[in-house]
Amino acid sequence: MDLKLDRRVAVVTGASKGIGLAVTRTLLEEGARVVAASRTGSPELDALACADLLHVPVDLMDREAPAHVIAEAVRVFGGLDVLVNNAGGPPPGVTLPRSSFVDASDAEWEAVFQFNLFAVVRAIRAAIPAMLERGGGSIVNVSSGNARQPSPINVDYGAAKAGMNNLTKVLSEEFGPKGIRVNTVSPGPVRTAWWTEEGRVADTLAAQAGTDRDTVMDRLVPEMMGLSTGRLAEPQEVADVVVLLASPRSASTTGAEFAVDSGFLKGL
């Protein structure tokens, strides 16, 4: 199916690995021109190098960084049609999951909100004028199942993502009549670096359970989180939904939330 993304200009944050990398790759395959924003590059992102890909190294904790990324998209590719706010998770200096709500300090709460919510607000604020100049666009915010299924071990992260979901609804109402669609994709556990890298979530849970990381990801997490499919999602499975929402093929979809979570969320 032609997603009608040929020559469209997209910004993807957190683009060097995981879901962001998969979104970047898929947009390029669909003919889009992509500005990939991340703190650093990666061999996988480098492998995508082409005339239609621009990597902008930025730290989204810097208040000026989101606007800089949008400005680069306009400068290099002439405008902006799609914004994918994918960057998220624990910012530098913050470790998730926690053992309890009381483990998170004020500084950690502020850092998590800066990275997971305020950077998104700043990116959207910068993107809207550029999209309006093109007659509209699509914003896709990558949230989390924890926005609607609260967890005491990720309480600050879940609260920030819940704010993102609320923001999506508000923006879809205000800017839908002006041609800008805003939607949310909420992954559950996904086989990304947050889980798989040494010292990250899988290792933390493995140490607590007295087992190994493969057992955690293949058996314990699917059981503990009640995953209907029995497995963690793959980044590409999330990316496919993100890119469809970015596409004009989803022209009548706005203010919606799509769970790509292996059946994690059970509520209506």
Residues taking part in catalysis: 157
Nearest to 139 by CA among 112, 179, 177, 166: 179
What 219-222 contacts at long range (C-beta under 8 Å, 24+ apart), as own/partner pairs, is 221/189, 222/262
What residues contact residue 139 under an 8 Å CB cut-off, 6+ apart? 82, 83, 84, 85, 124, 127, 131, 171, 180, 181, 182, 183
Give CA–CA dist 32/218, Å, rounded: 35
- Output Rg (C-alpha) for the chain, integer angstroms: 18
Specify the 3-state DSSP secondary structure of 183: strand
Q: At what angle do helices 155-175 and 119-133 cross, to 10 degrees?
A: 20
Q: Is the dihedral of CA 110, 151, 172, 88 positive or negative?
A: positive
In the sheet that holds 33-38, the strands lie side by side as: 53-57, 33-38, 9-13, 82-85, 137-142, 180-187, 257-260
| CA neighbours closer than 13 Å in the CB half-sphere of residue 251 | 7
